[in-house]
Amino acid sequence: MRSFCILLSLATLSFAQSRTSPFIKRAAFETGLIFQRWSGGGAQTLDEIVVPLLLHYPFSERFSLSVLNTPTRASLRSGGVSSRLTAFTDTRISTAWILGEERALLNFGVSAPSGRTALKPGETLVAQQITSHALALPTSYFGGGIEASASLAAATEVGDWVLGGSVGGVYKGSFTPTAGAAKYSPGPEISVTLGFDRPLGERHRFFGDVGYTWYAADKLAGVKVFQADGKINFSLAGVFTAEKWRASLLAENRLKRQSPFALNNSFSVSYGNEFNFAAELARELNRDAAWLASANLRLHGKNNNGANDAVVFSIGPGWRGLLLPSLQLEVATHFAIGKLNGNRILGGEARVGFIYQL
């Protein structure tokens, strides 16, 4: 039980690093279909259709490989004008090694530049819209240059607590963001995370972490254009089970950045303080199936330009179960309502996911 808690902590710390992955002990292929739509003022509608393709393959009890790509079709209709962007995204290849007595996890990863770059004007408009944190679209950018990352997470027991930390870095290659533009070179990143995991008997646990990410300067045609502020993230989560019920809660907060910065697709953005809360309740029907209900709340403050503030609430049902001993199905829908930049927005999402154990 204690080694299992250590592994859970390592997975939590690893997942906190956005470009790493936890260790997967069984080979599996995951796919499905996600459709999300947002509509707002000015007869504007933003759609996104995503087909995630994810392969997990453990070569041994200590080494696993994951490959991810998310083919996406995004479209924007505004004022009677339609624009769209359809392409594969960059392909993410990541590895995970368990070290020692299951007390450390080492990750290496690379993103192959298989996504769309050198965007045309209409495609650029779509790409800018899907970056909104408040909308939380499945795909927020399509492609950039080659990326390489590495991280190390470690955890240890202190009484009933599991304490740990991780450190990681990302190198990003240059690419052409829009047609006719000069080469854009994102700066490298370094992240440090400290976390805890506290089992509460056999059925419950709560855990959390605090992380800091430092960004080097980005360059356009060799000239410095952006120097992003450091990012500080806090998160606290809990999992509680009782008989046939299971509740999962997650609260996280990202502190306001004091200056604009560039996303992976090179578009300049500026965010205020961001608080997100998510909850899921599962009601077990039998050993192989469960009804789901989930809700999300996003409270985003204004940036330094007095914009990008948002309040978005979403809620919806779902179902998860086995169709075959090796095939799991999950279906879910969400309805969302809120405000973005003072304008009322409505949204919805429908998703179908399959996990096939190889």
Give residue-wise pLDDT tens across range 34-49: 999 999 866 799 999 9
Residue 255 is predicted with a pLDDT of 85
Say if strands 104-112 and 91-99 run parallel, antiparallel, or are unpaired.
antiparallel
Percentage of residues in the chain having pLDDT higher than 90: 67
Lowest-pLDDT choice from 10-24, 142-156, 228-242, 313-327: 10-24
CB 42 within 8 A of CB 79: yes
Q: How far apart are CA 269 and CA 217, in angstroms?
A: 15
| CATH code for the domain in which residue 345 is found | 2.40.160
Residue 341 is predicted with a pLDDT of 87
Sheet holding 223-226, edge to edge: 184-185, 218-220, 223-226
Give residue-wise pLDDT tens across range 203-252: 899 999 999 999 999 998 888 887 778 889 999 999 999 989 999 999 99
Q: Per-residue pLDDT for 330 more than 90?
A: yes
Q: Please state the φ and ψ torsions of residue 291, each to the nearest 5 degrees.
A: -85, 145
Q: Give the mean pLDDT of 142-160.
A: 92
Write down the mean pLDDT value for the chain: 88
Residue 17 is predicted with a pLDDT of 47
**Tokens at residue 355, please?**
């996990």
Give residue-wise pLDDT tens across range 41-87: 667 999 999 999 999 999 998 999 999 999 999 999 988 899 999 99
Domain count, the chain: 1
CB 29 within 8 A of CB 358: yes
* Amino acid symbol at 38: W
CB 17 within 8 A of CB 11: no
Residue 85 is predicted with a pLDDT of 95
DSSP secondary structure letters along 7-75: HHHHHHHHHHSTT------S-EEEEEEEEEEEEETTTEEEEEEE--EEEEEESSSSEEEEEEE--EEEE
Q: Per-residue pLDDT for 339 more than 90?
A: yes
Comparing 158 with 13, the larger pLDDT belongs to 158
H helices of 130-288, in order, are: none
Give residue-wise pLDDT tens across range 18-36: 454 555 678 999 999 999 9
Q: Give the mean pLDDT of 178-194.
A: 92
Q: Which domain holds residue 178?
A: 2-357
CB 153 within 8 A of CB 10: yes
* Amino acid symbol at 309: D
